[in-house]
Amino acid sequence: MSASQRDLFASVRRPSRSPLAVALAVAIALPASAAGRPQDPQPPMRPSYPTTKKVDQVDAHWGVQVPDPYRWLEQDVRESPEVRDWVRRENDVTFAYLKKLPGRERIERRLTELWNYARRSAPSRVGEHWVCSRNDGLQNHSVVYVSDTPDGEARVLFDPNTWSEDGTVALGGMSFSRDGRYCAYGIQDGGSDWRTWRVRDVATGTDLPDVLEHLKFTSPSWDARGEGFFYSKYPDPAPGAQFTSLNLENKVMYHRLGTPQSEDYVVYWRPEHPDWNYGAFATEDGRWLVIQVSVGTDDRYRIYLKDLAKPYAAPVPLVDEFENDYGYVWNDGPVFYMTTDVDAPRQRVVRIDVRRPAREHWVEVVPQREEPLLGVSFVGNLLICQYLRDVKTAVELHALDGRHVRTVEMPGVGTAGGFDGEPHDTFTFYSFSSFATPPSIYRYDLLTGTSELFWRAKVDFDAASYVTEQVFYRSKDGTRVPMFVTHKKGIELDGSHPTLLYGYGGFDISLQPGFSVSRAAWLELGGIYAVANLRGGGEYGRAWHEAGKQMEKQNVFDDFIAAAEFLIAKGYTRSDKLAIQGGSNGGLLVGACMAQRPELFAVALPAVGVMDMLRYDEFTAGRYWTDDYGSAKDSEAMFRYLLRYSPYHALRDGVSYPATLVTTADTDDRVVPGHSFKFAARLQEAQAGPAPVLIRIETRAGHGSGKPTAMQIEEIADIYAFALANLGARVGS
């Protein structure tokens, strides 16, 4: 899956202690045993909810009548005064409740202190320059710097913190010309997936007059001379429909510097296929334009090549059916090195001569292994292959003839990324972190095979006091599923610990161990943090993904439920101390599991979730997700399967559901907020127990990317305070 397509789903992510830290630190007084104690704090009272109108909307699906009484909440909040008023009234109730939670302000102060540490990205070479991003700690957005050497004196290239007073305008992508003279950059407003792209002269820091409006899911790719770039474009959205309308009619375009966007011309477009989506990039030698065509989020592509040495040559097919995954690594003229899952569900590297592209002429370079191959870069005349070994990073170096050169020794058990550079480089950089280990950057010498620490984050967090275990448990059907569990060393497994169980389980996305300052705060609060690597993800290759999609989606929910049962059986926690959390596809996961097993969890935290499985493909990018979900339009069997687990439809009157805090944002144009609006309204109606059901609706924010630091801290403080209060945990000083 290309980067732009993976971005169709995104989940929200992000040690001795100083005397000030000790003074501000929050802690939880836990029960001494699983039986609890009478003095355990009681959760706040259930609030009084606003009245939500119901309408007589009934849809016929394959002869089945399905009520949708909250359909009106699908309207864009900007276009509907009625929805806008409902949002205001719900937020009034929610924020009044959250404001009164014990310890909430202490949690926010500690989050702020933890967040206040310097962080940076690994340096990347662009032409004769080196570029990296840095954040001094509490800046709303990282600042992009450029320098002459990886660690030399740097000057500011982009500072998004100056673009808006409230921090809701962010840098939404960068693409440098091959000589490093220019940088095309995206501007993201209010968290929307739509971007405005401009061009900056790197040497002077001034912007060219070029402005490209209404771009989505694309990153410009420069031609060899830096005279312009290729990109993909949907038609401009109709007024008032930019946050809800379906994205169709994608085209590959070319923009020449100094000309208006209206003069950009179409490079490739198949009008008879309005559902096709394009990613286009020029190869490093500037000779070829590679056009990757997809119809969904699955890794199934057609590949077309345009010979850029022949201006009037039409793109020709290299692969002309949607069956397999292909990823470009490098090319030596007409000889391409590609990753593919053809005859290799866990991926391999092959060499394809585009003059003889038939499969019988392919040459296998790096064969498939037991571990899935996540990606390959070509640096220093070596193929750097990144694998996932039981959800942990493993890196192998191979020569172009496939010969194994060496294994890169990792600094520990965790996640590494980077390994970028040029074919002639003799070194590369990579980052490394784990759940309890703050980020570090290493310089790797490709000649000697040695790693040297280049930079390490200094976080006011006592990482040595915590441990991460990888455990394996059995799901309902006997499948062995891995899970990471992080907690303070030496805890007694008596079931008393507040536990946050996180999952995703979809779209071939793997949840790898990485440091998050917000999770560090949860650990300091006395909590256990668990991440279940559910089917539907990419942790074990294509078979693992396919075992959790479409008519197998229930396996994902079974895996998550089994993870909760394992944590309880092993004494980490118990049901009244267990919270579940997930975002986007993970929000669907939380919604489905709390509907199926409401008694198993005390708190549910679904974020920006896909909650109406019968209508999700009616909005924005939702049509892509049919690869993973199927569609109610496909068949009666698919409709009935979706209806059974669709969170909005699966809720039942008279059931005691967990305390629930739904989170979404008014500018989310990926999973439109109507999903969360309808789910929250229906859950408030159905709830029979005393646990609260609230929805927190952020304004001037989207699906997660581009959210300023201050907004993130406030939201996480609200979520943790809500969870701890409803888990019966005492927050003290």
CA angle 291/297/303 to nearest 5° reads 20
Residues near 204 by beta carbon (within 8 Å), at least 6 away in sequence? none
Rounded Cα distance, 634 and 127, in Å = 49
Examine the residue annotation and report whether 584 is marked as an active-site residue of this protein: yes
- Judge contact between 317 and 270, C-beta under 8 A: no
Residues near 355 by beta carbon (within 8 Å), at least 6 away in sequence? 334
Examine the residue annotation and report whether 147 is marked as an active-site residue of this protein: no
b/e sequence 675-703, b meaning 16+ C-beta within 10 Å = bbbbbbbbbbebbeeebbbbbbbbebbbb
- Judge contact between 180 and 128, C-beta under 8 A: yes
Angle of helix 709-726 relative to helix 517-524, nearest 10 degrees, comes to 30
* Phi and psi torsions of 308, nearest 5°: -75, -10
End-to-end Cα, the chain, rounded Å: 47
Nearest to 503 by CA among 627, 587, 432: 587
Rounded Cα distance, 184 and 197, in Å = 7
Rounded Cα distance, 234 and 217, in Å = 9
3-class secondary structure, 17: coil
Rounded Cα distance, 730 and 97, in Å = 17
Nearest to 11 by CA among 477, 402, 644, 534: 534
Count the Cβ atoms, other than its own, within 10 Å of residue 60: 8
Rounded Cα distance, 709 and 134, in Å = 13
From 175, 294, 584, 676, the catalytic residue: 584
Q: Kind and range of the H or E element at 603?
A: strand 603-607
Rounded Cα distance, 441 and 417, in Å = 10
- Judge contact between 683 and 651, C-beta under 8 A: yes
Q: Which residue has the tokens 């305008």?
A: 169
Cα separation values, 602 from 83, 179, 202, Å: 30, 56, 53
Count the Cβ atoms, other than its own, within 10 Å of residue 89: 14
- Judge contact between 280 and 294, C-beta under 8 A: no
CA angle 342/253/6 to nearest 5° reads 45
Rounded Cα distance, 566 and 581, in Å = 17
* Cα radius of gyration (the chain): 25
One-letter amino acid of 366: V
For the CA atoms of 406, 411, 414, 416, the dihedral, rounded to the nearest 10 degrees, stands at: -60
Q: Provide the 8-state DSSP code for 426.
A: S
Nearest to 211 by CA among 232, 233, 185: 185
- Judge contact between 399 and 383, C-beta under 8 A: yes
CA angle 605/609/611 to nearest 5° reads 110
Residue positions annotated with a catalytic role: 584, 703
